[in-house]
Amino acid sequence: MEAQLQELAQAIIDGQRKTAVELTNKLLEAGATPKTILEKGLIAGMNVVGVRFKGGEYFVPEVLVSARSMKACMEILKPLLAQGNVESRGTVVLGTVSGDLHDIGKNLVSMMAEGAGLRVIDLGVDVTADKFVQAAKEHDADVIAMSALLTTTMIYIPKVIDALAEESLRDKVKIIVGGAPVTQEWATSIGADGYAPDAASAVDVLLDLVQQRRASR
């Protein structure tokens, strides 16, 4: 079974969607738990993809292919994980802010975060402050992740932070921001808890912020 789990991880790394799905089903038939398949197959594979992406060995197309392979396997595992009451590593509410319709980077973060075992509530694009607030309440979010790809839309991010403060949620949720015009300095200046320049780094920051949030409960 260990060999098959390693094969699954490799299929994710190589972006072999059909092979990954077949291996997931075979592992389930062989008695592997959904949690084991998730952790030792999917997450293990996506961890390598993240390292290669950060190291410049993989680029966005390769990561998207791997992430889509992982997502296809997750569709099989999700109902089984829910039945087994397997806890996610944390809940992230994700969206591109109001006025901005860019979604490639956001989608990449969403898929890689799921591949890391996080529960992702993807609100899509052109997301208003009210929607972020509502989702944070409804899903008891650990982190809100906001992206903006334009200098004209990044100025909306502080409005979301203000809206969270007005609803007394700011101290209960961590905030990470990203996108082409966003910098670490700007993120710090608006009071965000985290910043990431790319999807692989975003997952590392998300996991760290979830840990911080849960430790402070």
Q: What's the CATH code of the domain at 8?
A: 1.10.1240.10
Q: Are residues 71 and 166 in the same domain?
A: no
Q: Edge-to-edge strand order for the sheet containing 91-96?
A: 119-122, 91-96, 143-147, 174-178, 194-195
Query: What pLDDT digit, counting tens, does each position of 6-36 carry?
Result: 999 999 999 999 999 999 999 999 999 998 9
Residues above pLDDT 90, as percent of the chain: 72
Retrieve residue 190's tokens. 């608006």
Residues above pLDDT 70, as percent of the chain: 98
DSSP secondary structure letters along the chain:
-HHHHHHHHHHHHHT-HHHHHHHHHHHHHTT--HHHIIIIIIIHHHHHHHHHHHTTSS-HHHHHHHHHHHHHHHHHHHHHHHHTTPPPS-EEEEEEBTT----HHHHHHHHHHHHTT-EEEE--SSB-HHHHHHHHHHHT-SEEEEE--SHHHHTTHHHHHHHHHHTT-GGGSEEEEESTT--HHHHHHTT-SEE-SSHHHHHHHHHHHHHHHHHT-
| pLDDT for 189 | 97
Q: Is the pLDDT of residue 78 over 80?
A: yes
d(CA 94, CA 126) in angstroms, rounded, equals: 11
Q: Are residues 50 and 114 in the same domain?
A: no
The rounded mean pLDDT for the chain is: 92
Task: Select from 52, 83, 114 the last residue of a domain.
Answer: 83
| pLDDT for 105 | 85
Name the pLDDT band for 85 (thresholds 50, 70, 90).
low
Q: What's the CATH code of the domain at 118?
A: 3.40.50.280
- Across residues 53-68, what is the average pLDDT? 90
Considering only 80-89, 112-121, 152-161, 204-213, which range has the smallest mean pLDDT?
A: 80-89
Q: Are residues 104 and 64 in the same domain?
A: no
Q: Are residues 68 and 106 in the same domain?
A: no
Name the pLDDT band for 207 (thresholds 50, 70, 90).
very high
In the chain, the number of structural domains is: 2
Contact by Cβ (8 Å): 77, 45: no
Q: Are residues 153 and 59 in the same domain?
A: no
- Residues with Cβ within 8 Å of 110's Cβ and at least 6 positions away in sequence, in order, are 94, 120, 122
| pLDDT for 117 | 84
Task: Give the structural domain span for 119.
Answer: 91-215
Q: Are residues 114 and 158 in the same domain?
A: yes
Nearest alpha-carbon partner for 38 in 100, 105, 119: 119
Top pLDDT among 161 and 115 is at 161
Q: Are residues 74 and 121 in the same domain?
A: no
Considering only 59-73, 78-92, 183-197, which range has the smallest mean pLDDT?
A: 78-92
Q: Are residues 162 and 68 in the same domain?
A: no
- Across residues 96-123, what is the average pLDDT? 90
Q: Is the pLDDT of residue 86 over 80?
A: no
Retrieve residue 28's tokens. 């389930």
Taking the CB of residue 79, how many other CB atoms lie within 10 A of it? Answer: 10
Name the pLDDT band for 217 (thresholds 50, 70, 90).
confident
Q: Are residues 30 and 62 in the same domain?
A: yes
Name residue, tokens 């209960």: 172
Q: Is the pLDDT of residue 108 over 90?
A: no
- Across residues 108-116, what is the average pLDDT? 86
